């Protein structure tokens, strides 16, 4: 009587219940759920006609379009494995990930056809190249293939521990690793997220988060499970986001903190168009309390902070609101909201442990590593047993994130272990210092790293992006931190730069800041 736990169950249910409801908006194109799943079936049938079957990989390189969304249903329902690639990477990266995953079919948006064409000679395993838009010689036109195929999919038996996606991590000092996510992983993450962040058929979800990023934090399936409407967005630009939110009556979105910062600092004429009461889930990097407070006070949105990794499907904690939080002053409430929070009901067990593997005391001060085990932890890294063994030890996934546990049980990340600054034997959290600097009225973004120092070993150095029209000196900012934290935590120097180097998913590349320090004069 049991059926596999898979997000495809959400599709089955949505077909029956929400067929005439609006499912997808992509520019001028609108599809009901019946039309959307008809298209998915046709593309599934076309893939089967290409000879694809269970276990075969299909790579996608596309922004948030209806075709990209269709891939999360059409590919898995024939037992194949979706490989959604980060479209912000280079042709060399594409060639590596396509080759490493063993993809037999590559589907790309018009903006990336040239990049793939430039590396075709390095892709001997790819049998077909499909243009999702802008087809030209050597490419199959997606829309033509969908229209010409019959919506009849040959039945395929799918197990819940079969792979649904391979998601490549952002490579920094080494090649990206392929995170193997199972149907069960994705299903459990989706259900757990829905419990903590309920949605309904009335919700209209704006795709500010890239769908390639950990499967859009599984909202590619969550919105469908709730019968809501997917509002596609191909590029995050405040000049597009705010008018679209108004015209499409958006009620919810997900975004990394860097996106929230760009929206919070948009001109007032744009922000005035934003609907009130929008629910926001932010993750991907620790948000500052100042950013959360500004989004809630200026825009009237409700921000919920979640935490996870691509390797955990991805969400494992949520900063769950409690009634007593509502009675706090806005700044205190925002400080709590910036914490990573507590386990999702379905994600499994999370601990913060010291070097001997003992749980740290819940004192809000003792640093340990976040380790997890449970329903959302990946099956491993694809074709990389050594890397898998490095992070999955003694029955636990080791995150590499340094955190403390507060007396109420809420976890708070203080840094990646590799980014903790050790100055004169004292541990300094770069995230803590960044959070203070973000409260300065002139600061838009900041990254803090440790720099070598003959006396102290290393000292904090702040790289600051000022707001348009903002004014501050390095001494001003150092004094600002010294007034709010122990003096040894304050930056010894401040460099002002036009923008921070980031990964494609919005995380600050601190190794770039360290490496480029000599080219940037501190002030």
Query: pLDDT of 115-135, one tens digit each?
Result: 999 999 999 999 999 999 999
Residues 277 and 291: their CA atoms lie apart, in Å, by 17
Query: What residue numbers bound the domain in which 23 lies?
Result: 8-193
- The answer to whether residue 220 sits within a structural domain is no
Look at 313 and 429; give whichever has higher pLDDT. 313
286: confidence class by pLDDT, cuts 50, 70, 90: confident
Range in 386-390, 464-468, 515-519 with the lowest mean pLDDT: 515-519
Do 153 and 41 fall into the same domain? yes
Q: Is residue 218 part of a domain?
A: no
Number of domains in the chain: 3
Whether residues 485 and 364 share a domain: the answer is: no
Same domain, 351 and 402: yes
How sure is the predictor about 88, in pLDDT bands with cuts at 50, 70 and 90? Answer: confident
Asked whether residue 517 carries a pLDDT value surpassing 60, the answer given is no
Q: Are strands 178-182 and 57-61 parallel, antiparallel or unpaired?
A: unpaired
Asked if residue 207 belongs to a domain, the reply is no
401 and 433 share a domain? no
Last residue of a domain, one of 416, 431, 448: 416
Torsion of CA 263, 494, 456, 400, to 10 degrees: 20
* Any domain includes 306: yes
Final residue of a domain: which of 164, 193, 222? 193
Give 35-69 as a DSSP string: HHHHHHHHHHHHHHHTT--TT-EEEEE--S-HHHH
In a domain, 210, yes or no: no
Specify the CATH number for the domain of residue 31.
3.40.50.12780
Average pLDDT, the chain: 94
Please check whether residue 168 lies inside any domain of the structure: yes
Pick from 79, 140, 72: nearest CA to 105: 140
Name the β-bridge partners of 495. Answer: 463
Q: Both 373 and 509 in a single domain?
A: no
Residue 202 lies inside a defined structural domain of this protein: no
Q: Which of 138, 139, 212 is nearest to 181 (CA)?
A: 212
Instruction: For residues 131 and 151, state if they share a domain.
Output: yes
Q: Is pLDDT at 424 greater than 90 in this prediction?
A: no
CA–CA–CA angle 321, 189, 274 (5° rounding): 55
By the 10 Å C-beta count (0-12 exposed, 13-18 middle, 19+ buried), 192 is classed as buried
Last residue of a domain, one of 416, 435, 470: 416
Same domain, 131 and 246: no
- d(CA 139, CA 132) in angstroms, rounded, equals 9
Same domain, 276 and 339: yes
Residues 400 and 456 occupy one common structural domain: no
Mean per-residue pLDDT, 448-465 = 90
Q: Are residues 313 and 340 in the same domain?
A: yes
Tokens of 488: 């040894």
Handedness of CA 383, 389, 394, 397 (dihedral sign): negative
Is 73 inside any structural domain?
yes
pLDDT of residue 516: 66
């Amino acid at each position: 009587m049991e059926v596999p736990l898979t997000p495809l169950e959400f599709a089955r249910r949505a077909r029956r219940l929400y067929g005439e409801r609006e499912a997808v908006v992509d520019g001028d194109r609108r599809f009901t759920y019946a039309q959307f799943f008809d298209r998915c079936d046709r593309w599934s049938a076309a893939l089967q006609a290409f000879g694809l079957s269970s276990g075969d990989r299909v790579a996608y390189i596309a922004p948030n379009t209806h075709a990209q969304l269709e891939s999360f249903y059409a590919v898995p329902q024939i037992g194949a494995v979706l490989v959604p690639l980060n479209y912000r990477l280079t042709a060399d990266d594409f060639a590596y990930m396509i080759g490493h995953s063993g993809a037999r079919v590559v589907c790309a948006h018009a903006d990336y056809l040239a990049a793939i064409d430039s590396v075709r000679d390095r892709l001997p395993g790819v049998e077909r190249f499909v243009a999702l838009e802008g087809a030209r010689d050597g490419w199959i036109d997606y829309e033509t293939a969908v229209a010409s195929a019959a919506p009849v999919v040959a039945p395929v038996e799918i197990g819940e521990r079969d792979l649904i996606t391979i998601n490549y991590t952002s490579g920094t000092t080494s090649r990206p690793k392929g995170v193997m996510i199972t149907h069960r992983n994705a299903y459990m993450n989706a259900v757990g997220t829905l419990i903590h962040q309920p949605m309904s058929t009335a919700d209209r979800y704006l795709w500010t988060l890239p769908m390639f990023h950990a499967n859009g934090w599984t909202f590619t399936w969550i919105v469908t499970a709730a019968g809501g409407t997917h509002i596609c967005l191909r590029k995050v630009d405040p000049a597009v986001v705010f008018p679209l939110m108004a015209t499409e009556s958006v009620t919810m979105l997900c975004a990394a903190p860097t996106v929230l910062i760009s929206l919070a600092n948009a001109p007032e004429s744009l922000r005035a168009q934003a609907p009130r009461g929008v629910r926001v889930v932010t993750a991907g990097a620790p948000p500052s309390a100042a950013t959360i407070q500004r989004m809630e006070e200026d825009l009237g949105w409700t921000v919920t902070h979640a935490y996870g990794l691509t390797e955990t499907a991805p969400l494992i904690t949520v900063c769950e609101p409690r009634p007593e939080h509502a009675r706090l002053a806005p700044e205190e409430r925002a400080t709590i909201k910036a914490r990573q929070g507590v386990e999702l009901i379905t994600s499994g067990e999370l601990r913060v442990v010291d070097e001997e593997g003992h749980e740290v005391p819940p004192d809000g001060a003792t640093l340990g590593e976040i380790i997890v085990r449970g329903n959302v932890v990946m099956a491993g890294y694809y074709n990389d047993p050594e890397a898998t063994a490095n992070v999955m030890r003694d029955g636990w996934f080791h995150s590499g994130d340094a955190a403390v546990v507060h007396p109420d049980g809420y976890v708070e990340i203080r840094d990646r272990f590799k980014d903790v600054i050790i100055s004169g034997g004292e541990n300094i959290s770069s995230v803590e210092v960044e959070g203070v600097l973000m409260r300065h009225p002139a600061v838009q973004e900041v990254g803090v790293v440790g720099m070598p120092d003959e006396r102290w070993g290393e000292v904090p150095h702040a790289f600051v992006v000022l707001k348009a029209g903002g004014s501050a000196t390095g001494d001003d900012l150092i004094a600002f931190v010294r007034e709010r934290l122990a003096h040894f935590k304050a930056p010894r120097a401040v460099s002002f730069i036009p923008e921070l180097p980031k990964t494609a998913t919005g995380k600050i590349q601190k190794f770039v800041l360290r490496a480029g320090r000599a080219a940037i004069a501190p002030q």
